[in-house]
Structure 1
Amino acid sequence: SESNLQTRVDCSVTLLNRHNNEGILNRIITCDEKWILYDNRKRSSQWLNSGYPVKSCPKRKLTQKKLLVSVWWTSAGVVHYSFLKSGQTITADIYCQQLQTMKEELAAKQPRLVNRSRPLLLHDNARPNTAQQTTTKLDELQLEGLRQPP
């Protein structure tokens, strides 16, 4: 709609002006999650003399598993990553724990960013990222969320 378009333009102009005045690109920290499929089948090995046939083994069922990895990074590189337990997804509690751990690792890896300027968090509008618990945690950790267009 026309109002959404205007909101996007306003947000973009605000971010561009802020970058021109403050140089915000080096202060941005962002996060993303990715599902990883893996298969931990055990394979047996056997020694055979030449000329002997290989014993056939029945194929096992497909045993792929999924694992969720969450990665936090800045323009300088990866700050923190974590693997969630099998079947676990991101909730507000887990997201807040990751924020806490990420902030601690950021202070160790890039102390200038934490001590001299307030890090800017660029994250999407998923429910765990916009929950009241997350907003409170962001204030506690002195992380500012970047405004995003709808």
Structure 2
Amino acid sequence: MLQEFCGDGTISCTRALEWHKRFKEGREEVEDDPRSGRPSTSRMADNIECVKQMAHRDHRLTVWMIAEELSINKVTVWSIITENLEMRKVCVKMVPKLLSEDQKQLRVTVCQDFIERLEDDRDLLGRVTSGNESWIFKYDPETKQQSRQWKSPASPRPNMSMSRVKVMFITLFDIKGIVHFEFLPKGQTVNQYVYKEILRRLMRSVRDKRRDLWENNDWVLHHDNAPAHSSQSI
């Protein structure tokens, strides 16, 4: 009878039976019962600011964690982050040191100059041992999913953060590959005394790995003019 009278606007049969039961129990009002809780919409200025502060304080918080902390619906938190704050989650990546076009061209020019100088001594490159030192940092390995962080349009893409744990890595190589490498004790840097011992160990490596160059005394050490390399004792 209700469907014939009201058409598509009719309430469901279940709801009609529910209201019939309430009226039989003495209810006279048709308004919704008063209830406590959050307002019909949670995308208010206060909640937006709270979500913003939490996301900026810890970029790796999930929507579920923010919703639990603020007692807001997860759908609302997602809407605030993506629509009001215009943030999205991206994965951390390693950013290499990129060379500019001028720097790339300079390296090509220098290499071409070296090749021209070596026209009279083509075997020199095969006799040179070179190397350098570099700080090696410790990272906590994590999956791509674990590294995801919230990023706003104005913020840079997050990079892998360096750890406080770092050690100096020494590597010396020639045209055939690695001749000698070692890690210095944690926190130790290279000075003339440390470098002198490294050169002694390098000589033993050349003797063991490049026997022909060692026996003919035909190998050449190339290094830069760092203070540890250019001191009188070296």
Q: TM-score, normalised by structure 1?
A: 0.60
- The answer to whether the 8 A contact 1:27-1:117 is kept is no
The Cα offsets for residues 90-124 of structure 1, whole Å up to 9 and x where unpaired, read as: 00011110101011011101110111242111111
- The answer to whether the 8 A contact 1:19-1:25 is kept is no
The 3 A distance-change label for structure 1 pair 119 and 63 is closer
Aligned match of 2:136:
36
The 3 A distance-change label for structure 1 pair 97 and 16 is farther
Unpaired segments ≥5 residues, structure 2 = 1-111, 142-161
Q: Cα offset for 1:87?
A: 1.2
Aligned match of 1:100:
200
Out of 174, 180, 184, the residue aligned to residue 80 of structure 1 is 180
1:1-150 to 2 correspondence within 5 Å? 16-17=116-117, 20-21=120-121, 23-39=123-139, 64-134=164-234
Q: Distance in 2 between matches of 1:15 and 1:100?
A: 30
Q: Cα offset for 1:85?
A: 1.0
Unpaired segments ≥5 residues, structure 1 = 1-11, 42-61, 135-150
Give the alignment's Cα RMSD to 1 decimal. 2.8
The 3 A distance-change label for structure 1 pair 85 and 114 is same
- Flag the structure with higher strand content: 1
Instruction: Name the SS of the counterpart of 2:206 in structure 1.
Output: helix
Instruction: Name the SS of the counterpart of 1:133 in structure 2.
Output: coil
User: What is the letter of the counterpart of residue 130 of structure 1?
Assistant: S
Q: Cα offset for 1:23?
A: 2.1
- The answer to whether the 8 A contact 1:28-1:120 is kept is yes
Instruction: Name the SS of the counterpart of 1:124 in structure 2.
Output: coil
User: What is the letter of the counterpart of residue 67 of structure 1?
Assistant: V
Q: Distance in 2 between matches of 1:16 and 1:130?
A: 27
Instruction: Name the SS of the counterpart of 1:87 in structure 2.
Output: coil
Q: TM-score, normalised by structure 2?
A: 0.39
Q: Cα offset for 1:130?
A: 0.4
Higher RCO, Cα 8 Å, sep 6+:
1
Q: Distance in 2 between matches of 1:30 and 1:23?
A: 15
The Cα offsets for residues 51-109 of structure 1, whole Å up to 9 and x where unpaired, read as: xxxxxxxxxxx963011100011111101111111111000011110101011011101
Percent identity of paired positions between Structure 1 and Structure 2: 23
User: What is the letter of the counterpart of residue 83 of structure 1?
Assistant: F
Aligned residues: 103
